[in-house]
Amino acid sequence: MPANPSTRRSFLRSLGVSGVLGPVAASLLRVDQALADELNGLAARRWVPEGLSDRYMIDPGVTYLNHASIGTMPRAVHDARVEYSAICESNPHLYVWGGAWDGMVEEVRARAARFLGASLEEVAITHNTTEGFNTLAYGLPLGPGDEVLFSSLNHGGASIPFEHAAKARGYTVRRFDFPIDDVPRLDVADVVELHRREIRPATRVLVFPHVDNIVGLRHPMAELAAMARAQGVDVVAVDGAQALGMIPVDAAASGVDAYSASPHKWLQSPKGLGLLYVRATLRERLSPMWVRYGVSRWGGTSRMYEDYGTRNWPEVLSLGDAMDFQDALGAADKEARYRRLFASMRERTRGAALRWNSPERWEMGSVLVSVGFASPANALSDRLYQERGIVLRAFQGGGLNAFRVSPNVMNTEAELDELFGELERAG
C-alpha cells in the first residue's frame, strides 16, 4: 500500500507555525515528494533484487555482504537526512531547542514502538544496542549474591557492560559455553533446555540474543522468558541488534523485560541510533544511567533512559524515513527474499569443501549465516576484499574458522555466486 506521508506533512505544517519561510519549506517539499515517490513505487511492489541496488549507494566495485556488522542507508533516506541537517543548521536554536520537530519525533517513536511490538511509553531512542545494556548493567538493583547469566553466543556489547559494572557493584557474571557444533540440529526445546540447566538459585538476570551475531541462531524469546520466570529469574534481557528489521519482533507479547537494538543494521537507518524497550514492571526498579534537566517529567516511561538535552534530531527524523522504507518493501516480500537467500546459501555449501555452521531450518535461523572453511579465514577475508571487493566478517577462534555472510534485500544471486565460487577455489 502507498507510503503514509503524514510525518513529513506534519513537519511541513510546523514550518509555517514556526515562521520559517520560502527556501526551507521549498527544499523540504522537494525531498518530501522524492521520498514519497520512492516509497510509493516500492509499496506497489515495483522492485526486484537485481534492480534494488540502484536505490542504495554501495560502491559498484564492492560486494557488500556484512550487513550484520553495519548496514547501509537507502539513497532516499540519506537524501532526506541531508535536507533535515541543512534545515537544522539554518537556525540551530529553533531546530535543536525550539521544539519545531517535537511532533515529528513523536511519530518516529510511535513507528519504532510498532516495530518493537511495544507501546509508545515503553520505547527509548538511544545510540545503539550497547547503550541499552549499559543502562541495565548499571541501573538494575544488583549486588553481592546476585548473578547475571549468558552464553558464549552473547555479543560483547551485551556482555561487557555487566562484566564491568559487576566489579563495582559486587554481583557475579557467568558465561556458559554454547555447543556451537550442535547449532544446525537444535530446535526450540533444545535451546530452552541449554539455558535452563545453567540457571542457578542466584541467577537474577538472563541475557540472550534474539539472533546471535556468530551463527545466526534465532533464540525463542517467549519460551526462554517463560522458562526463566519459572526458574525464579527476575529480569530477561534480549539483544535485538541482529533481529530488528530482519524478522518480526513482539517484545511485549514475548514476556521479556528489556529489548535493546541497533536500527542501523537491518532497519537501514543512519548510524548512531538505538532503540530500547523496557517493560513497565522493570522501569519501577531500573535507574537511569544518566539524567538531564526535566527528567522528572518522563518518570514512569522509558524516555527517562534517553540522555539527551542536545540531540542530533535529523538522525532521529531519518530513522522514521528508514522505517517507512522497510514498510514499503513489504514485510511478507522481504521475509520471502530472506528465506530464498538463506536457502540459496545453504545449498551452495552442499557437496563443497565448506561447512554449514548455522541452523538447518529458517524457523531457527536467519539471513546471517556462518560458513566454515579450511584455510585461515582472516587471511582469506583480507584477500577477498583487496582483490574482489567482497566485504565479509571472518571468525577465527573459539572453535570456529568461518565467514559470517549477511546479505540484505538488495544483494543478488550473482553476488553469492561470486562469493561461493571464490571460497571453493580458495579451498
Position 95 scores a pLDDT of 86
- Domains defined for the chain, CATH in brackets: 115-312 (3.40.640.10), 331-426 (3.90.1150.10)
The proportion of the chain whose per-residue pLDDT surpasses 90, expressed as a percent, equals 72
Three-state SS across 262-291?
CCCCCCCCCCCCEEEEECHHHHCCCCCCCC
Element (H, E) at 340: helix 331-349
Query: Can you tell me the mean pLDDT for 278-307?
Result: 86
Position 36 scores a pLDDT of 85
Query: Can you tell me the mean pLDDT for 266-288?
Result: 96
Per-residue cell: 126: 538511544
Query: Can you tell me the mean pLDDT for 23-51?
Result: 75
245: nearest Cα among 233, 225, 262 = 262
What mean pLDDT is reported for the chain? 90
Question: What's the CA gap between 270 and 268, in Å, rounded?
Answer: 7
Where residue 15 falls among pLDDT bands split at 50, 70, 90?
low
Q: Pairing between strand 400-405 and 369-372?
A: antiparallel
Is the torsion defined by CA of 321, 324, 328, 333 positive or negative?
A: positive
Write down the pTM of the prediction: 0.94
Least confident of 3-7, 107-111, 188-192, 291-295: 3-7
Q: Pairing between strand 393-397 and 400-405?
A: antiparallel
Position 302 scores a pLDDT of 93
Any idea of the CA torsion for 359, 361, 365, 367, to the nearest 10 degrees?
110
Element (H, E) at 176: strand 172-176
pLDDT tens-digit profile of 368-419?
A: 999 998 888 899 999 999 999 999 999 998 889 999 999 999 999 999 999 9
Position 2 scores a pLDDT of 38
pLDDT tens-digit profile of 43-94?
A: 766 667 777 888 999 999 999 999 999 999 999 999 999 989 988 998 899 8
